Structure 1
Amino acid sequence: MIGKIITFKSTFGHGGPENWSVEKGPDTWFFNKARSKFGAIFDLGVHKIDLIRFILNDEIKKVTSRSFTLDKRKSDGSFIDVDDNSIGIYEFESGVVGTITSSWTYYGEEDNSTIFYGDKGLLKIYDDPKYSIKAFLLNGDRIDYDIDHIQTNESQTNSGVIDNFVDSLINKKSSVLEAVEILGSMRAVFAGIESNNNNDTENVGN
């Protein structure tokens, strides 16, 4: 509908896991590097990477990423041990390029939006609380899809994914959550972390 995808931008940001974690408050395990290892990029970014890979049916080739600890502090007033914001540029094998932003400092309203820009229009996903997908076409047409609603930490619906996973374990059969499907996303996350550490662009390995 929107033609050849050229670029995209995707965001996953909310007020932080200290608001809903089992250990609420500034000393949540999410903020402890010894327990969580990484911050917002690992908690949130991987989901968006997975989504983009799935929709494009493509693999990430290169990543340029920067991670920051901008606002989150522990109970003693010092900055948390991990990133609370991460921004990455992702280059796909097909040539599509886009950005993914992960943030624990979106205070006031969660942002779970993804926008694909094609040569015939653009597609917005989870940009509007009423219409989960909206298409804006080059010819002036606009199409709103009222198919489900944005998932938030406060409002979750049953997608059936967990049931499918449990069923696959009990009955020893394949699941939609096969581990091999996430490898490309995990490689991209780790490439982003290396890019940040090396202040460089990293190739995504096989």
Structure 2
Amino acid sequence: MKLEKNSVTIGFVSSVHPHSNMHMKTLDLMDSIDEVRLLCIEDQDPVELSKISSKVKVIYKDISELLDDEHIDIIILSARNDLCPEILELSAKAKKHVLFDKPGAVHSKDLHKARDIAEKNNVNLSVMFLNRYRPEIQALKTHVASGIFGKIMSVEARMITSQVRYRDPDYWLFKKRKSGAGILSWLGCHYIDLLSYVLNDRIIEVSAYLDNLNEEDLEVEDTAVLNLKFSKGSLGSFQNGYHIAGSASGYAGASSDNHLAVRGIKGYGTLPFGGPEYIFYSEHESLDLNGIQKMQFTPPDSEAYGGVAGERFLEDFIISSLTGKKFDISIESVIDVLEVIEAAIESSITSKSIRI
């Protein structure tokens, strides 16, 4: 199925959130989106979002009005972590499909009720793990699945970005009651998800150190180092922190130092993440004469959140929802990630390895 031009009506629910403007820009860019019907909560200014796109035609005052609107095909939810679960539950009861910004909850258990309602009503509640759609991630995952790296021994990832001082230390992301955790739930969640996704495996044990090493007095962690054990025996590590000086202020265009690698008996794949290269090597009989290889990716430019990959992600979610199919990246994906984060927090407090 291909989405026709001006064929989809979106319900957009937003609180004050770093990505709301970006999501609205995405909807404005996509030809298939005909109309956006907006609900702003918790001090989000509807005028601000409406200025981004002329597609905003209706502004609602409460969630019941939006959920009663039979013209809405899907809902985009960009809201504070503590606000998301109730909205997801109400949407699932109303049989509305929802694509929500990560992580969507303060605690993994807060999403269980929404998940159960969605399963009962055959509704897609899906999380915006857009990085799965990046071409270099797809290439790495394909190589792992094909066996050219052999048995996977280890994986590692690093996600380092701008210091807290560039990100408004008073923002809700640094308030435990509203956010749940710190950098792990806001940014680390992407990489925890990708490690499991690339390996097609689950994390079953975590040991970790979490700390507050920036100068600001925060309620949540700004630094984390995790050791990971996967169900098939692979071991992994992940470093996450608000550490880079000299960055631009804000949440768009922040400096970063990112990396992801998989190493097996017969080869390896490594990503200087965010760059155009994927580097790999394999001693598999089909590739053993090739040496170290590089793949370059030059996707078309797009101002959408997540670029062209983000546009394709949203298109696929809409198509799955409209055709009654289950979207691959479900609410269960982020529940799994939150369980890993909770295990990391417990490990850091108790100085013990935590089984999941």
TM-score by length of 2: 0.48
Identity %: 21
User: Which region of structure 1 is more displaced relative to structure 2, 133-142 or 162-171?
Assistant: 162-171
Q: Is the 8 A contact 2:206 2:353 kept in 1?
A: yes
Name 2:211's counterpart in structure 1.
68
Q: 1:172 to 1:127 in 2, by over 3 A?
A: closer
For residue 156 of structure 1, report the CA deviation from its aligned partner. 4.0
For residue 157 of structure 1, report the CA deviation from its aligned partner. 0.9
* Residue of structure 1 aligned with 2:189, choices 42, 46, 55: 46
Name 1:57's counterpart in structure 2.
200
Cα distance between partner residues in 2 of 1:7 and 1:107 = 30
Cα distance between partner residues in 2 of 1:16 and 1:71 = 7
* Residue of structure 1 aligned with 2:328, choices 157, 163, 176: 176
Q: CA RMSD in A?
A: 2.6
> Mind listing any 5+ residue stretches in structure 1 that lack a counterpart?
74-78, 150-154
Name 1:76's counterpart in structure 2.
none
CA shift digits 1:8-55 (9 cap, x unpaired):
110111104764xxxx52322112222212101111222111111111
Cα distance between partner residues in 2 of 1:60 and 1:2 = 20
CA shift digits 1:58-103 (9 cap, x unpaired):
1111100111100151xxxxx1111101110000111100101111
What is the one-letter code of the residue matched to 1:104? Y
Larger CA Rg, structure 1 vs 2: 2
Give the secondary structure class of the aligned counterpart of 2:276: coil
Give the secondary structure class of the aligned counterpart of 1:135: strand
Give the secondary structure class of the aligned counterpart of 2:244: coil
Cα distance between partner residues in 2 of 1:121 and 1:169 = 39
What is the one-letter code of the residue matched to 2:190? H
Name 2:280's counterpart in structure 1.
135
Name 2:345's counterpart in structure 1.
193
> Mind listing any 5+ residue stretches in structure 2 that lack a counterpart?
1-147, 247-254, 300-304
Matches within 5 A, 1:1-206: 1-16=148-163, 19=166, 25-73=168-216, 79-107=217-245, 109-127=255-273, 129-131=275-277, 133-137=278-282, 141-148=291-298, 156-159=306-309, 160-169=312-321, 172-204=324-356
Q: Is the 8 A contact 1:18 1:28 kept in 2?
A: no
What is the one-letter code of the residue matched to 1:145? M
For residue 185 of structure 1, report the CA deviation from its aligned partner. 2.1
TM-score by length of 1: 0.80
* Between structures 1 and 2, the one with greater helix share: 2
Q: Is the 8 A contact 2:188 2:240 kept in 1?
A: yes
What is the one-letter code of the residue matched to 2:266? K
Cα distance between partner residues in 1 of 2:293 and 2:321 = 40
- Number of equivalent positions: 190
Cα distance between partner residues in 1 of 2:318 and 2:164 = 26
